[in-house]
Each structure stands twice: as C-alpha cells, then as structure tokens.
Structure 1
Amino acid sequence: MIDSERFDPFNNRLCRNVRNALSENFKKVLEQQRMQPVRRVAGFFRNDPLPPCVRTYIDQRLAAYEQVLADVRNRELDHPLDIAVAIWDQHLFFETHEYLEQYWMAAHGGEKKLLQAIIRAAGAYVHLEQGNLTGARRIAAKAVAVLEVHQDQLSPYADPRLLLAKLRSLDPKPPMLAGTAGSANRSMRTIDRP
C-alpha cells in the first residue's frame, strides 16, 4: 500500500509507473506539439482508484506540461537546451533528465559532457525532492565538476554561475534558468536531434 501523503517513485511501484509513463509520453507531447499523449496516459491511470498523492501528482504534471508546451510555442523554442531550460523551470527535473538523455546519447566530446552534467543537475533535484541528501550531494558534485569546465557552452542558455552555486549549496529551491543568460551566441546549435 502507498502512503497516501507522499508520492515516492523510489519506493513505490505505482508512483514509479505513473512518473515513468507520464515522462515518456511528455517527450511525445514535445514532438507532436499536442497534449494528447499524456492525457491518454493520465486517463488510463485515473480509471482506477488512486491515492490522493498520485492523483495530485498527475494533475500537477499535466498543468506543468501545458505550461512547457505553451512556453515552447510562444517563444518558438526549437533548440534542445532551450527546451530543457523550459522544462527545468517548471520544476520537471525527472522530465528534464528524460528529455536530454536522447541528445546526450547522440552527442560527443564537450557537448556530451555538458548534457550529462545538466542531466545530473536535474537528478540532484529529483533526489532533493525526495529528501535524499546523500544521493543529491553525490550527483550534484559530479555535475558541478563538469559544469565548471563547460560553463561557456551553457552560458548562452542559462547562467552557469547561478546553477553552480545552487548545486554546490544543495539549495532545495532550484534556480530558474530561463532568461538568466544572454541569447547572443548560441554555440551549441549543433546538437543533433535523435
């Protein structure tokens, strides 16, 4: 049985299944530019009685996905790092990780390292959300080590100093990344779509 007060995908199969199914279909939302894939999945889970924390999680995720999709459309975002920042700023850290993973797998060199560092930064916040300071500290340290070296590659998309400071301190309040960097030199426009 699930503790109805806490959504915990690390220790509860239903929570993990809901998180993973929504996240996987959120990538389809971004590809198709429509909410139908996640609405279908949400409807599937809502057909059964759900603990309040699971129902709330689904509702909050759908609202956040709507915000990301609106942001992508309104700002005409098409670069993977711009989209990842929009996802991050809705506090969708697991989804940030899932979205960037496809690009990380196809990348090489410094680009690959930067994407992995952002994925790890998102992972640190996933752990912080669950109160796992040990896991967050370990993953944040790995992200910081790479972000320090690749700050210039991140700076067109987000302020790396802000992200580094938050990760170093394990600040439970994540930084907002959109609008914290200059939009002039988009040096990583070469990220290939998988």
Structure 2
Amino acid sequence: MIDRQRFDPFNNRLCRNVRNALSENFKEVLKQNKMQPVRRVAAFFQNDPLPPCVRSYIDQRLAAYEQVLANVRDHQRDHPLGTAVEIWDQHLFFETHEYLEPYWMTADGDEKKLLQAIIRAAGAYVHLEQGNLTGARRIADKAVAVLEVHQDRLAPYADPRLLLDKLRSLDPTPPMLAGTAGQANRSIRTIDRP
C-alpha cells in the first residue's frame, strides 16, 4: 500500500516505475529538444487513478523538465556538465544521475572521476529527499573526496566550493550550480596566484 502523502521510489513500486520511466524519457526530451517523450509517459500513468503524491510528482517533474529544456535552449552547452547543472538546479537529482551516467561509462581518467563525483553528489540529494541521512553521508563523502581534488575541472560549470560546502554539511537545501562558474573561476585564479 502506498503512503498517499509521500512519493517514495525506494519502497513503492509504482513510485519507482513512475520515476524511472519519466527519467529515462527525459533523456529523450533533451536529445529531441521537445517534451513529447515525457508527456506520453505521464499520460500513460495518468490514465489510471493515482494517489495524490504520484500525480503531484508527475506534474512537478513535467514543469521542471520544461524549465530545463528552456534553459538548455537558451544556453548552448558543449559539455555534459553544462547541461547537468541545469538539470540539478531544478532539483532533478535522480535525472542528473541518469543523464550523466552514459557519459561517465564512456569517459576515462579524471573526466570519469569528476562525472562519478557529480553523480554521487546528486545521489546524496536523492537520499536526503527521502530522509536517508546515512546513505546521503556515505555517498556525499565519496563525492567530496574526488571533488576536492578536481575542483578546477568543475569550475567552468559551477562553483566547486559551494557544492563541497553543501555536501560536507549535508545541507538539505541544495546549491544552485548554473551561473556560479564565473565566481568559481575568479576565486580559483585568486588562490592560484603567487
């Protein structure tokens, strides 16, 4: 039985199916530059009676996907992290993970480590959303260890210090990442000066 007040993909199959189907089709939205793939999935689930938390989740996700699509159209992104920070800033942490995973799987070296760290950072916020502090701490610590070493690689896309501070403290209010890259680049250059 689903808790009608809480969307919980960790413990409820319907919630998990909705989350996974929307997320998988959101990648198609970004490829096709149109919302039809997720609208079809949403309509499929909405044809049946749904608990209010599931219906609300679908509505919130569709609105956030629209915003990401608009932001990505407005800001041409030449690297997956550029798009990932737009996804992150809509609090789409599961989608951030899903979007970056194929890039991580084909990357190597420092690029692979950085992508995995961002995936883990997103995973920490997925766990925080569900109130799982132990899981969030475990994943956040792994992300922090890599992000500390590769701050310069993240700096063109987001302020690594802001993300590191939030992850270290497990701040339940996630940082906004898009648009903080300029601050990160300035502060890193200041530190690097002799």
Instruction: Indicate the TM-score class for this superposition, using the shorter chain for normalisation.
Output: over 0.9
Correspondence for 1:6: 6
Correspondence for 1:162: 162
69-78 vs 82-91, greater mean Cα deviation: 69-78
* 1:105 matched to 2:105: yes
CA–CA distance in structure 2, aligned partners of residues 4 and 125 of structure 1: 22
Decide whether the 8 Å contact of 2:117 with 2:144 is kept in 1.
yes
Correspondence for 2:82: 82
CA–CA distance in structure 2, aligned partners of residues 50 and 179 of structure 1: 37
Decide whether the 8 Å contact of 2:29 with 2:35 is kept in 1.
yes
* 1:132 matched to 2:132: yes
Correspondence for 2:178: 178
Q: Give aligned pairs, total.
A: 185
Q: How does 1:105-124 map to 2 (within 5 A)?
A: 105-124=105-124
* Aligned amino acid, residue 165 of structure 2: A
Shift of 1:184: 11
CA–CA distance in structure 2, aligned partners of residues 83 and 12 of structure 1: 30
* Aligned amino acid, residue 26 of structure 1: F
Correspondence for 2:16: 16
Structure 1's 134 and 183: CA in aligned 2 closer, same or farther, altered over 3 A?
A: closer
Cα root mean square deviation, aligned? 1.3
* Aligned amino acid, residue 125 of structure 1: Y
Correspondence for 1:192: none
* Aligned amino acid, residue 125 of structure 2: Y
Greater fraction helix? 2
Structure 1's 43 and 113: CA in aligned 2 closer, same or farther, altered over 3 A?
A: same
Q: TM-score, normalised by structure 1?
A: 0.93
CA–CA distance in structure 1, aligned partners of residues 121 and 23 of structure 2: 17
CA–CA distance in structure 1, aligned partners of residues 175 and 156 of structure 2: 16
Question: 1:41-75: per-residue Cα shift (whole Å, max 9, x none)?
Answer: 00000000000000000000000000000000011
Decide whether the 8 Å contact of 1:157 with 1:183 is kept in 2.
no
Correspondence for 1:146: 146
* 1:37 matched to 2:37: yes
Correspondence for 2:189: none
Decide whether the 8 Å contact of 2:29 with 2:36 is kept in 1.
yes
Decide whether the 8 Å contact of 2:159 with 2:177 is kept in 1.
yes
Q: Which has the higher contact order (CA 8 A, sep 6+)?
A: 1
